[in-house]
Structure 1
Amino acid sequence: MLKSVYVLLAVMTLLTKTVARRTNSDVKLISAKPTEQVRFDCRKRSEDEVLLWRIITKTGSKVERKKCADAGEDPIDVRKKCVDERYGYDLIITRINDDDEGIYECTAAIQKEVLEVYDLRIEREAFIPETAYSKDVTIREGGTAKLWCNASGYPVPNIKWQIVELDSNGRESVQDIGIQGKLLNIQNVSRHCDNWYRCVASNELSRNEASQNIRIRVNFGAMADFDVYSDDRDDQCGDTVDDLGEKLGVNTSRSYYIEKKQGVRLSLVCSGSGSPNATIEWFRYQGGNRIKISTLGLGNQIVDTKQIGSFVSAICPSLFQDERRFKISFVVLDDKFTKYVCRASNEYGVDEMTITIKKRP
């Protein structure tokens, strides 16, 4: 009597999961932990019916037809064996592994009729494969950012999203944002969305949550601002804001201006925020003409003009992310009582602010 089998001789283990025998082709879900033993039942409808097993896994599709008595001659995975009885044609896998996950079909070879279908899932803690999540995203302000994260494992993992903020010492502050699922969709992105986002996955087997950080980088147009300091110490910025000297109040009633006596030393600090980093320029008006004093370019390159003979420039520490600060300092003599322009620019925008140094009566 002709008999068929998927594959061959194996050593039985004590751990066995058996699926209830059915006579229809509905898919039956079965799960097991790695190294356990699984048994797939398939019942013949007559003693001489010829059956075969077809297996579809991530490693490919395979059909084997073998007599049980000849099984040892075939170099098939020895973890698999047939149980070929008068009305039974069952498949047993000992010590299952990840490669066994897939669809198992028991088919009547002659009639080409599927009798049993099993979906085998390997039980594992949730994990996030290296290729299963978005890489860092750069997007222009106002656009839509889409982050995705596919977790593996069984039972099917739950996924949630968090924002991860880092303080100046590199310490994390984590906050759930109330979004669950594989996709995080942020519309009308603002510069405040520029941050690290964390995909967190877990299931019933997870002893520790699996996580992956994804960065959203938001590009936005440059913005300019300035501060004025009384500078009686040196021409450098120092390491902190306090090193710049005394910050002076600026009159903003109609236009920005400050009144100082002749002979005092001042520092004007231009703050240029933007992503990509802003180029910062200082100008002044002389004889009705706008003249460039100095430029802070990319790579912290300072380009001074012939005006620099009476001005000293320096790069100051940034106060926050995506900001650069550029200082000019000078002694206020007669020709220095004029308008000064702080200009910040990048590929997405240009912004300027003007302050007037007035002579105090």
Structure 2
Amino acid sequence: MNIEQLRADTPAVEQLIHFNNAGAALMPKPVIEVMTRQLQLEAQLGGYEAAAQHLPELENVYGAIGRLINACPDEIAVIENATRAWDMAFYSLPLQAGDVVLTSTTEYAGNYIPYLQLKKRRGIEIRIIPNDEQGQVSLSALKDMLGDDRVALVSLPVIATNGGPVQPIEQIGALARAAGVLFLLDACQGVGQMPIDVQKIGCHMLAATSRKYLRGPRGMGFLYVEKSLCQNLEPAFLDLHAASLLTPETFKIREDARRFENWECNVVAKLGLGAAVDYALAQGLEPMWQRIQHLAAYLRDRLGEVAGIKPTDSGIIKSGIVTFTCQGSSAVQVQQWLAARDKRINVSTSTFRSTMLDMQQRNLLEVSRASLHAYNTEAEIDEMIEALLRMPRS
């Protein structure tokens, strides 16, 4: 990859070291320029009029996302964030009392809470797929669990918010398909970081965000729903965009995945998402993934040189999210120390409240999280290590 160009396209790297890409990555110039242009046009013409001038570009967002994940444009819905995209898919499923949802120990609390809500409301059952010795979903256990004909859904993240492993999603998808069970994939930490191909994965639904590794704006995400499934799902919420009023007594839901959208949206952010997808495609997802994995491996090696640092990543395939604990310092203290003005290094913390099942299983309350992107460098990692070596501890 042309690292110099990646960094030239990312103005903020001149002022800080950004290792919080799993939270919100730094937007590249093409994204900033598209959004700035549209915002200025809205100020000059009005929001509706500005959008009308860029209808082809807005329509092209669906095609770009389709190319990104190998889906058809009519299988894509652009929704205000990944949480709402995931919710729109999950709550449209006709889950009934006794139906079983299978998930992983690495499930995000924002997804697990809806499971509990439907357990309370409808009487569904939640079962956790055990991990194998490497810390990822046990495929043999999953196969056995799918033998229960009450299993209606497999739902899990490709990469957890608190780090690896990268789940074996293609094998999971194949097992779910063979059992005739729906597969809902949370790809928030995967899209933009690694190649994601819904045809190879075999997932029926996928939700993702704009702001993380895809490097788009906040407040924007998308949902993929397989065409053959889409028309069988009725969204929990409808409006005059998702459906048409035929008579005072009847309405018709649109046939494509945009039935999960609503009329009002952030046009500026939607165009920014499209620009971010175009940018990622132009760079190449496979080279991006290789670069990110290289940097993450380099950071893990260098963390081994710092006394008291304990890596907490697991899995056969690890992602660009590097997590660790630091003896004598809390994750918040590590974050604050690295963010001090003379260092300007952004990392984050991940607590048991976001991935409770996994963290409790591993006796962790919190971890420090450094999430790397392709525009980061080995020199930036070296600066972080030097800062950690100087950090005072209690």
TM-score category (smaller protein): under 0.3
Which protein has greater RCO, CA pairs closer than 8 Å, 6+ apart?
2
* Larger proportion of strand: 1
TM-score scaled to structure 2, two decimals? 0.17
* Larger proportion of helix: 2
